[in-house]
Amino acid sequence: MGEVSERCGLPLDGVTVIDVATVIAAPYCAAILGEFGADVIKVEHPVGGDPCRRFGTPGSRGDTLTWLSEARNKKSVTLDLHHPKGAAMFTELIAQADVLCENFRPGTLERWGVGWDKLSAINPGLVMLRVSGYGQTGPYRDRPGFARIAHAVGGLSYLAGMPRGTPVTPGSTTLGDYLSGLYGCIGVLLALRYREGTGTGQFIDLGLYESVFRCTDELVPAYAMFGTVRQRHGPHVQHSCPYGHFPTRDGKWVAIACATDKLFARLAEAMDRPELASSSVYGEQRVRLANREDVNEIVRDWCGSLDRDEILERCYAARAPAGPLNSIADIFGDRQFHARRNMIAMEEEQGNETVMVPNVVPRLSRTPGRIDSLGPTLGQHTDQVLTEVLGLSGDDIAALRAERVI
């Protein structure tokens, strides 16, 4: 990113986002908006702030590395919304904002007197992203929700693990948060576009479980039409073979994905056994699926006879779809990640350390995103924002601080 030396305007220049959410789900939406030009003001409770500051591995400043990475480009303003003065100041901030991101349990903002009805009356063009475990409606709306619960409820966790074994975490416990941030961001961008023509804002109502559930390919129609209840398939998948993870001689793993007969023919070539791809042997997916165990055993034997890098070289040469199961150590040594600058080193000044964070995705050719700063310290921009945006004086701010409103 940032190949252009002078920055042309970014798509969201001039857009102000208030992020009063916590942890990753809705805040990740705000982070993307910030990467592409929006001014993002993170509103946090004066004591402790966003729990994301404490959830995970701390850096030397004390805030976690997740916070430093995912609160990128944000300004931190403390404000106690439980306090009537805090709620009033929040309302004034919203009056001047374009987007509000929140993920309290449904009804919380309403209890503080800053629900949708109130805020949209003050700012009719407001776009409000509301993320919660189960959405704003339905019988479960009041239940607490985290991504782990969303993975379970949305049907993903049931599918991760060895057949009949304990279902495992589908790789990462925060996937559903990121997915919700992405869906939320799409919703906000759509709503901003609609507002351009009409001047009218709206809210986006997203349950974490819905983001996960939406990504389950044919699970729904297959059950509705044929009653198929998909189960765990371990390292493999149900519709293609060989398609899975295979151990190599040096104790590492490769992923192989022969989604079509053509791709299997290439693998057979990589294995020096082109006869396997003839139609009288395993040339057809249907036949391979019927002989799944035998086919997997052939591939497993081959993978086990060579080191990972040799397997991959042969697959690449034959254009068979394969890749390493990278650990984070592998990723740091991977040429593609370096060539694409997928990680970027940022200086964290207060703790005097360099923090490596994932770079902006997606990559836009003309208006690439930016990371100007890592997650701020708690209340780092309180004085600045209250002065510049709300026009408060130094005395006003001191009084609010004494009252613990900020």
Partner 1 sequence: MRTEPIPAPRPDPSAASARDHAPAPGTRSDANGPAEDLPLTGVRVIDVGTFLAGPYAASIMGEFGAEILKVEHPIAGDPMRRFGTGTSRPDTSLSWLSEARNRKSVTLDLRKPRGVELFLRLVAVSDVLIENFRPGVMEGWGLDWDRLSQAKSGLVMLRVSGFGQTGPYRHRSGFAHIAHAVGGLSYLAGFPGETPVVPGTAPLGDYMSSLYGAIGVLLALRDRERSGRGQVVDIGIYESVFRQMDEMAAVYALYGKVREREGAGTVIAVPHGHFRTSDDQWVAIACTTDKMFERLSEAMGRPELSSGDVYGHQQKRLAARADVNAIVEAWVGSLTRDEVMQLCISHQVPIGKLNSIADIFDDEQFAARDNLATVDVKGLGPVTVPAVVPRLSLTPGRITGLGPPLGNATTEVLRDLLGLAADEVAELRRHKIV
Contacts (CB under 8 A) with partner 1, residues 175-194? 175, 178-179, 182-187, 189-194
Stretch that binds partner 1, among 82-90, 241-249, 376-384, 392-400 (CB under 8 A): 241-249
What tokens were used for 190?
Answer: 């759509």
**Residue 97 or 258 having the CB closest to partner 1:** 258
Strand-pairing partners, residue 284, are: none
* 129 CB burial (10 A radius; 0-12, 13-18, 19+): buried
For partner 1, the binding residue among 5, 47, 121, 166 (CB under 8 A) is 166
User: b/e map of 191-213 (b: 16 or more CB within 10 Å)?
Assistant: bbeebeeeeebbbbbbbbbbbbb
Binding to partner 1 (CB under 8 A) within 274-333 occurs at 316, 319-332
The CA distance from 225 to 221, in Å, is: 6
Q: Is 31 in contact with 70 (CB distance < 8 Å)?
A: yes
State the nearest-atom distance from the C-beta of 79 to partner 1, in Å: 22
Where is 177: in which H helix or E strand?
helix 175-198
Q: Is 243 exposed, middle or buried (0-12, 13-18, 19+ CB in 10 A)?
A: buried
Position 82 contacts partner 1 (CB under 8 A): no
Cβ closest to partner 1, residue 269 vs residue 386: 269
Contacting partner 1 (CB under 8 A), which of 171, 304, 333, 394? Answer: 171
> Is position 114 an interface residue for partner 1 (rule: CB under 8 A)?
no
According to CB under 8 A, which one of 72, 151, 288, 314 is a site residue for partner 1? Answer: 151
Give SS3 for 197: helix
Number of residues in contact with partner 1, rule: CB under 8 A? 158
Q: From the CA atom positions of the chain, what is the Rg in Å?
A: 25
Q: How far is the CB of 149 from partner 1 (least distance, A)?
A: 4
Q: Least Å distance between CB 203 and partner 1?
A: 5
> Is the Cβ of residue 375 or residue 389 nearer to partner 1 in the bound state?
375
Least separation in angstroms between residue 390's CB and partner 1 is 28
109 binds partner 1 (CB under 8 A): no
Query: Is 396 in the active site?
Result: no
Amino acid at 61: R
Helix (H) or strand (E) holding 140: none
Q: C-beta of 256: minimal distance to partner 1 in Å?
A: 8
How many other CB atoms are found less than 10 A from the CB of residue 180?
Answer: 29
Active site members = 177
